[in-house]
Structure 1
Amino acid sequence: MFNKKIIRSVFISLSVLQAVSVFGADKQDRDQVASASINENKSTNSLWYKQAAQGFDQSLVLGNGRLGAMVFGDADEERIVLNEESVWSGSVAENNISGGYKNLAEIRRLLGEEKFSEAKKLMGQSFKAKNAPKYAKSISAFGRYQVLGNLHLKFLAKKNQVSKYRRELDLSSALASVKYQVGKTKYTREHFVSKVDEVFVSRFSGPVSFSIQLDRPERFKTTAVNERELLMTGSLNDGFGKDGLTYAARLRVVAPGASIKVDGNKLIVESKDEVLLLVAAATDYRGIAGRQLVDPLAATTSDLDKAEKKSFVNLRKAQKADHEKFYNRVSLDLDKTKISDLATDERLAAYRKGTADPSLAALFANMGRYLLISSSRPGGLPANLQGIWAEELHTMWNGDYHFNINTQMNYWPALTCNLVEMQEPMNNFIASLVEPGSKTAKAYYDSPGWIAHRLTNVWGYTAPAGMDIGGPAWLCEHLWEQYAFTKDKKFLAEVYPIMKGSVDFYLHNLWEEPENKWLVTGPSASPENGFLLPGKKKGGSGICAGPTIDMQQLRELFGNTIRAAKVLGIDKDLQGELLEKRARLAPNQIAPDGVLQEWLKPYIEREPTHRHCSPLYGLYPYYEITPDGTPKMAEAARKLLERRGMGQSTGWSNAWRINLWARMNDAQKSWDFVKRMIMDNCFDNMLSLFRPLKNGKGKKLFQIEANFGFTSGFVEMLMQSQPDSGAIDAEPVIRVLPALPKEWPNGKVTGLLARGGFEVDIEWKDGKLVECKISSLNGNPCKVRYGSKTQIVKLKAGKVKKLSASDF
């Protein structure tokens, strides 16, 4: 699909580059010797329950980035949901309808004259797309992410006298276990997904007797290949009534001495000793340039053949070491209380009744780190709206990728939590949008560069689907920020062409609004809020020119591209143009009521408490609005945040507000939203609830970005490293405990990554800093701030500086 010649230099080499740690051999050595006990505190690193899961929201989730599993743990009839990251319906299709650019000048004139209804009508004629996403249960070429299938285990000996039941997920080693007793016989089940061996592994202690089946809701055929192997195959709907992507899930029983029989499309196993199940899965997806075509049948056979040669002990040893290498880089710990040792669902229930449990917030934050490691690995696809976990065919919002916050939020903790490698799938995915986005830019804007609108799929959709057009600038932020944290010039050189391509599009499409002669975008929108039309009390518009978020994103993109070009010593003419155009972008404005303005003019918000905080992009994730650098604008941002309120909002919105209030250095407001998320947006299995249930009732909707946003917010409360302003030459400042709430009087975090190439450990007691340890990875100087005092720290690479409260 994608033209390899166009993006080979920015895409293929990204995979090679990220195959090793961005910090080189020293970093690899540290990973290899990381202590397995660094995250041994079960209250912050373990989920456990006294009963089997009654639904996906109580299941134990496992993953290796590509393969996922959801373990329910029933003693009699176990169901394990299986996932594979590329199980997508739909197909590569032509989405663009050329010629929309012919009306752009007129649309912009109408926007400049505030004739929004007329502009919107003309846009409806000009920005149509083929094969656009559909969210009902209909099928289109856009497609959707789907469940791979279900593994059913029916135990023939009924276990209705089960006692001492315990179901547990160890986040630190990525092991799900189920233990129980029947009479005097003890049973143990252990499950994990190995990235090293690319298989899902289950071990059952003996004696056991059970049947095994594989199925999915539609489009599958399961056959018993032999007495040890089941094979499930099928093709998904391509959106045009034909077979599209093909998949295979292959299960193999490893149980020497066991009796195994074939019964139609299932196996029946009886063994006095332990039984090992190995599951491999693959598809023939190759929607991203550079991705090799895979034969699912051959690939699953090969994976199982290799894995079967290893003992369970060796499979587990390799998987555990691989997971701990990443998870143990960071530890997040807060105080335990009397309820911290309760089962996780009981802890949540007690917390919601008002019992203090600081370590529960640390557990939720660690869950985000765990989920990122489990759903985004080098060489794979980025985490989608559900990570990689889905039990249905019709996933919420197609399980796709939204660029007006959701996809980006998935990667907010990647850098601060020292998981740089986990951002590689995101980087590659961004690179994959360049070629189709270039066609979309030409078709609708007659423009150079590339554009992707609000959302996309794994098939390269970049055509209009929502007109907030700042998404690519936001995506490019992730590329620059990886450099800002690591100072890896080779990486920067690889991604610079992507940033430059995005800049080319925006430079071509900026236009001068008539009143102030500012340069603005448009047609665009402020996700996903709207405003009342001038002089009207009802109705309104979302379509506009120069929304505040676009202007902030372009100031960031232009500034980052200037900095990147300076670092690389290239494009001096472009640097000059960007500097000139950046100064002419519509500025942040304060409305007459003192609130940060969302649009070019102080229009009345259609929904003042809207879940999106779009004009606050400049506060977080960008940093052009800061309490220290722009106090008046920060106060206007505060007022807008207060207007947005504490309403019953979506999980990702509450997560964003943790980060926003942390950037305001407001510990208690940040903690209010931490509490709100645990109260309203957290399932029993610590996955994020999209909307709060009313009186415990309602549809249980899952979107994963709130998990990641919570983790990044947790870290932002304890450590930040952004500059004091968005000035092009501004240097980062490491802020220690900038938003520490009184509810977290004691704690310790280690291994956090800060801009400039530093690892940071922080310990505090009674709300005061005990010690901050700064480890330099690249030998750059840095500023460290605690309270109102700042220290200059100069270290050689590999050296450490310890600071206490008395040093400030």
Structure 2
Amino acid sequence: MTMSMTTLRYRTPASRWLECLPLGNGTLGAMLDGAPSVTRIRLNDETAWSGSPESEHAGGVLDAASAATCLRQARDAVAAGDPMAAAQALMPTQVRYSQAFLPFATAELTREVPVTGYERELDLRTATHRTSGAGTVVERTFVSAPHGVLVHRIDGTALTGVELHTPHQVLASSTSADEAELLLRLPADVAPGHEPDATPVTWAQGPGQSLEGAVVAGIRREGGATVLVLATETTYAGLGRAPHGSAQDAAAVARRRVEDALRLGWDALAEAHARDYEPRFTRSRIELGTPEQHAAVADLSPDERVRRAQHADAPLAADPGLLSLLFDLGRYLLLSSSRPGSLPPTLQGIWNEEMQPPWSSNYTLNINAEMNMWAAHTTRLPECAEPLHDFVAALAQAGEPTAERLYGSRGWVAHHNSDAWLLTSPVGGGHGDVRWSAWPMAAPWLVRHVLDAVEFGAIDETALRRMWPAVRGAVAFTLDHVRQEGGRWTSAPASSPENAYWTADGEEAALDVTSAMDLSLAYEACRTAVRVAELLDVDDEVVAEARERLTTLPAEPEVATDGTLVEWASERAATDPHHRHVSHLVSLYPGHGCWSERAREAAARTLAERGDESSGWSLVWKGLLWARLGRGERVESHLQLLVRDAEGLSGPFAGGLYPNLFAAHPPFQIDANLGLPALLAEAVLQSHDGLHLLPALPPSLQEGRAEGLLARPGVIVDLAWSGGALVSARLRSGAGAVPVRVQWAGHHLDRVVTSEPLELVAADFTRPGRA
């Protein structure tokens, strides 16, 4: 595989966080500024959260009897056409807010480094950060997954000092010539910035009220080089579990990792890191553009390339390789923030610099946490999906009592937000807007990821059986919540996150009898449960109900009189016709996608009326929906909006890229970065309804190749195209002999794919007797 231009290279150090370059191993995250004299390595630990499992109940929770009254009042009000009263009735069901993912510490390294000839870079293929100055001064950094440490090597100059700092309470600290340690306590509570009346940060000293942690650094000389090894650890004991141990215990664990790594030395650590990381990264690649186009930008830094493309008449044609780089970056960030045994990525992956991060850098379950995983299977990183599966399995257990208490329902429920403590209640503190708080449908969307793993052949029976309670519980709740009454579907009080509509009285309302998203997710939940039950050879009353419900639930939304899709229970005028959420299209993507032509036309009209401009993650979702509709030119328009200088834009929802290529919501959210590889993969390969080659190729991406993409039901695909037309395709199966229908340019071939590569060229699709 030809791997070109997989490096982010800059000629000046970073002066702020959004210029720093990220490293990570799924648990330990680092942002490096590459400064030549005092370099700062900003550290994150994925387990560094405020609060504890008790945080969800800190402000009190509504008892079951009172909750039943609130739910009945809300449903009665919706049925009576009074959504405002329904919203008011639900306020007592809200808890305060989720807890926050926090920065952990900063390591400052001091040395005497000349600044002439300075360069810093992040090699995505090797997951290694490198800085260089004049002469022989070179520094290299990586974060090792096999050994759980950050490793930093300095050649050509001496390390003169190491200091550790933290925004948290310092319990103890020490520094010597060969080591440094910092013991700390995290906050017991951190309120989100959108709760201005709450105390921003609250500290407590009682046992179990908050996490404690440690940073340990060790230094050794190896010949003429200095090697620093650093580890972090907290008293986080696992999803939903109370903190366990002390900062001293955490320091002992971190110290053992540092000492073990130092005994191995740089060469052994670097070799283990390469063996672990590079084979995963190189599994798939999309290479766009020509050598001439690549050469034209070879000397430009990534931020310069973004500005150059933005001001071109045809941004993608001006620098198609920028999209290849973003594809690589997205997969790199997923590998760096989501590994087996870790937590799933938050809104910012595992990188955050703020004590009150935007939206608490939590798990936002009405789109963002799901989007983070959309590229895991199509770009062949199935292990990166495992943390989300673990999270869902644990959340299902936490959500069972919440479903019973708030809804009197079987199964489990989760709402808009969650955190490392498995919050499942609606948030808002009794005043939260119901357009986002009153959405109890996270469970059916989250278990849809299990069906993805099944369809791509990326989960074994043992793992699938472990996920069955979560799948069964999600559909059980959905069967109770989404039901027919009086000949019509209801999931009241229903919302379409995070949109609202105008009432006849000119008020903004968010609640309705049902919504297109609720019905779509119910259909997907039933599909998931039935398919998984068949594979596991299980059957019970819930599976039987799901099987029967599939025959009555709509597989696609209704079409309105204006030709768009109906978003709520009936035709409504949205208060924001250009809203960034397109929740009513969820079953087109990431759902089953097999819609009638009439519904597809309505989807296109809906997307057109929604407009293109939006936040980064919304641009990616809309682009994926256009890809499912086979509209490459509309995919291109959304990619053009994403490949912009975010700092030159205005407005609360204008997506673009920051200098280090982090994507803007704004501010930074990682979902667009992680979702973009899925969008590029979907533009060149789709498999939800047969195997489609180049189904939605953007017109400016005339030349390219894709290697190692994954199609359902486990077919690895290589593609090459020129002049926008297919040149060749290579298919091989990792799951035995599988029959597939391969489609391109309105033609199809029926073939059986095995482990032996099947080679196809464009002429195979048009010659007589091709089937």
Partners of 2:72 and 2:355 lie apart in 1 by: 42
Task: Select which of 706, 719, 722 maps to 2:688.
Answer: 722
- The equivalent residue for 1:671 is 636
The secondary structure found in structure 2 opposite 1:506 is helix
Deviation, 1:494, is 2.4
Deviation, 1:97, is 1.9
- The equivalent residue for 2:199 is none
Q: Is residue 2:411 matched to residue 1:449? A: yes
Task: Select which of 708, 718, 729 maps to 1:772.
Answer: 729
Partners of 1:742 and 1:530 lie apart in 2 by: 35
Structure 1 residues 238 and 41: alpha-carbon distance in aligned structure 2, compared to 1, 3 A threshold: same
Q: Is residue 2:268 matched to residue 1:314? A: yes
Task: Select which of 74, 77, 90 maps to 1:110.
Answer: 77
- The equivalent residue for 2:560 is 591
- The equivalent residue for 2:759 is 802
Once the two structures are superposed, the pairs formed by residues 114-513 of structure 1 within 5 Å of their partners are 114-125=81-92, 127-129=93-95, 132-133=96-97, 142-155=98-111, 157=112, 159=114, 162-181=115-134, 185-221=135-171, 223-224=173-174, 226-239=176-189, 241-243=203-205, 244-255=210-221, 273-288=224-239, 295-336=249-290, 337=293, 338-341=295-298, 342-354=300-312, 356-465=318-427, 466-486=437-457, 488-513=460-485
Q: Retained in 2: the 8 A contact 1:625–1:633?
A: no
Task: Select which of 667, 682, 697 maps to 2:657.
Answer: 682
- The equivalent residue for 2:3 is 40
Amino acid at match of 1:286: A
Identity score, percent = 30
Q: Retained in 1: the 8 A contact 2:472–2:542?
A: no
- The equivalent residue for 1:77 is 38
Task: Select which of 510, 517, 532 maps to 2:502.
Answer: 532
Amino acid at match of 1:189: E
| Residue-by-residue CA offset, 1:255-296 (whole Å, 9 max, x unaligned) | 268xxxxxxxxxxxxxxx211111011111014269995731
Q: Is residue 2:694 matched to residue 1:737? A: yes
Partners of 2:94 and 2:725 lie apart in 1 by: 57
Amino acid at match of 2:88: K
Q: Retained in 2: the 8 A contact 1:39–1:172?
A: no
Structure 1 residues 545 and 286: alpha-carbon distance in aligned structure 2, compared to 1, 3 A threshold: farther
Partners of 1:303 and 1:467 lie apart in 2 by: 45
Deviates more, 1:326-335 or 1:99-108: 99-108
Deviation, 1:464, is 1.2
Q: Retained in 1: the 8 A contact 2:233–2:253?
A: yes
Deviates more, 1:324-333 or 1:404-413: 324-333
| Residue-by-residue CA offset, 1:31-90 (whole Å, 9 max, x unaligned) | xxxxxxx35312xx1110111112111111100000111111111221111111001111
Q: Retained in 2: the 8 A contact 1:147–1:393?
A: yes
RMSD: 1.9
Structure 1 residues 513 and 541: alpha-carbon distance in aligned structure 2, compared to 1, 3 A threshold: farther
Amino acid at match of 2:101: Y
Unaligned regions of 5+ residues in structure 1, if any? Answer: 1-37, 134-141, 258-272, 692-700, 724-732
Deviation, 1:241, is 4.2
Q: Retained in 2: the 8 A contact 1:720–1:738?
A: yes
Partners of 1:207 and 1:287 lie apart in 2 by: 41
Structure 1 residues 415 and 493: alpha-carbon distance in aligned structure 2, compared to 1, 3 A threshold: same
The secondary structure found in structure 2 opposite 1:525 is coil
Q: Retained in 1: the 8 A contact 2:129–2:142?
A: yes
Q: Retained in 2: the 8 A contact 1:625–1:634?
A: no
- The equivalent residue for 2:582 is 613
Partners of 2:592 and 2:242 lie apart in 1 by: 36
Deviates more, 1:212-221 or 1:469-478: 212-221
The secondary structure found in structure 1 opposite 2:264 is coil
Task: Select which of 598, 601, 610 maps to 1:635.
Answer: 601
Partners of 1:241 and 1:292 lie apart in 2 by: 15
Runs of 4+ displaced beyond 4 Å: 289-294
Amino acid at match of 1:224: S
Amino acid at match of 2:659: D
Partners of 2:378 and 2:222 lie apart in 1 by: 47
Deviation, 1:501, is 0.7
Partners of 1:148 and 1:521 lie apart in 2 by: 42
| Residue-by-residue CA offset, 1:175-195 (whole Å, 9 max, x unaligned) | 1000111xxx33101010001
| Residue-by-residue CA offset, 1:757-790 (whole Å, 9 max, x unaligned) | 1111111111111111111111221221112112
Partners of 1:519 and 1:580 lie apart in 2 by: 15
Q: Retained in 1: the 8 A contact 2:113–2:157?
A: no
Amino acid at match of 1:540: E
Structure 1 residues 441 and 575: alpha-carbon distance in aligned structure 2, compared to 1, 3 A threshold: closer
| Residue-by-residue CA offset, 1:389-424 (whole Å, 9 max, x unaligned) | 112211111110011000000000001010001111
Q: Is residue 2:609 matched to residue 1:652? A: no
- The equivalent residue for 1:602 is 571
Q: Retained in 1: the 8 A contact 2:702–2:722?
A: yes
Q: Retained in 2: the 8 A contact 1:222–1:230?
A: no
Partners of 2:296 and 2:171 lie apart in 1 by: 47
The secondary structure found in structure 1 opposite 2:683 is helix
| Residue-by-residue CA offset, 1:564-607 (whole Å, 9 max, x unaligned) | 22222221654442233233336621111110110111011110
Q: Is residue 2:521 matched to residue 1:567? A: no
Partners of 1:291 and 1:774 lie apart in 2 by: 48
Deviates more, 1:97-106 or 1:555-564: 97-106
Partners of 1:89 and 1:105 lie apart in 2 by: 35
Partners of 2:368 and 2:178 lie apart in 1 by: 42
Structure 1 residues 762 and 565: alpha-carbon distance in aligned structure 2, compared to 1, 3 A threshold: same
Deviation, 1:513, is 4.4
Partners of 1:479 and 1:191 lie apart in 2 by: 35
Task: Select which of 712, 719, 722 maps to 2:678.
Answer: 712
Q: Is residue 2:699 matched to residue 1:702? A: no
Q: Retained in 2: the 8 A contact 1:469–1:525?
A: no
Amino acid at match of 2:237: R
Deviation, 1:118, is 1.8
Amino acid at match of 1:705: D
Partners of 1:616 and 1:765 lie apart in 2 by: 32
Deviation, 1:113, is 2.6
Partners of 1:209 and 1:377 lie apart in 2 by: 32
The secondary structure found in structure 2 opposite 1:585 is coil
Task: Select which of 15, 39, 56 maps to 2:17.
Answer: 56
| Residue-by-residue CA offset, 1:651-699 (whole Å, 9 max, x unaligned) | 11111111111111000100111111011411121111122xxxxxxxx
Partners of 2:171 and 2:203 lie apart in 1 by: 19
Deviation, 1:214, is 0.7
Structure 1 residues 687 and 85: alpha-carbon distance in aligned structure 2, compared to 1, 3 A threshold: same
Structure 1 residues 277 and 583: alpha-carbon distance in aligned structure 2, compared to 1, 3 A threshold: same
Unaligned regions of 5+ residues in structure 2, if any? Answer: 190-201, 428-436, 647-655, 766-771
- The equivalent residue for 2:198 is none
Deviation, 1:386, is 0.6
The secondary structure found in structure 1 opposite 2:641 is helix
Kindly tell me the number of residue pairs found equivalent between the two proteins. Answer: 710
Q: Retained in 2: the 8 A contact 1:52–1:72?
A: yes
- The equivalent residue for 1:581 is 549
Task: Select which of 518, 527, 536 maps to 1:550.
Answer: 518
| Residue-by-residue CA offset, 1:276-334 (whole Å, 9 max, x unaligned) | 11101111101426999573112111101110111211111110121112101111211
Structure 1 residues 322 and 109: alpha-carbon distance in aligned structure 2, compared to 1, 3 A threshold: same
Amino acid at match of 1:751: G
